[in-house]
Amino acid sequence: MVTWRTTERPKKFNELVKNLKDKKFKYVHKEEEVIDWGKYDKAQIHEVNDMLLLIADYVDEATKRLGIVENWIKILEDRHILLMMLQKRL
């Protein structure tokens, strides 16, 4: 079977190589962006926090459906402590 992958890609690659050899390829230099790693770290922490809340919601729903209530107060306290610890790091 002939697909775009087997026909167009090699043509484009060969054309690129030919242009590089003939020095016809024009490279446009881009300045590097400065990355604010502090903002990135905070975003990752928020994402983890959101994921934990989502998981907790699913666990809440599952325990309601299954009728599991043993040690539930301890689980809620642990989750609350973990979320407070994460939020203090922000």
Tens of pLDDT, residues 29-82: 889 889 999 999 999 989 998 998 898 888 888 877 877 765 555 666 676 676
Work out how many domains the chain is built from and give that number: 1
Distance from C-alpha of 73 to C-alpha of 77, rounded to nearest angstrom: 6
Provide the whole-model pTM: 0.43
Own/partner pairs for 10-18, CB < 8 Å, 24+ apart? none
Q: Say which residue the tokens 């325990």 belong to.
A: 63
> In the chain, how many H helices and how many E strands?
3, 0
Distance from C-alpha of 86 to C-alpha of 46, rounded to nearest angstrom: 9
- Domain with 9 in it: 4-89
Element (H, E) at 23: none
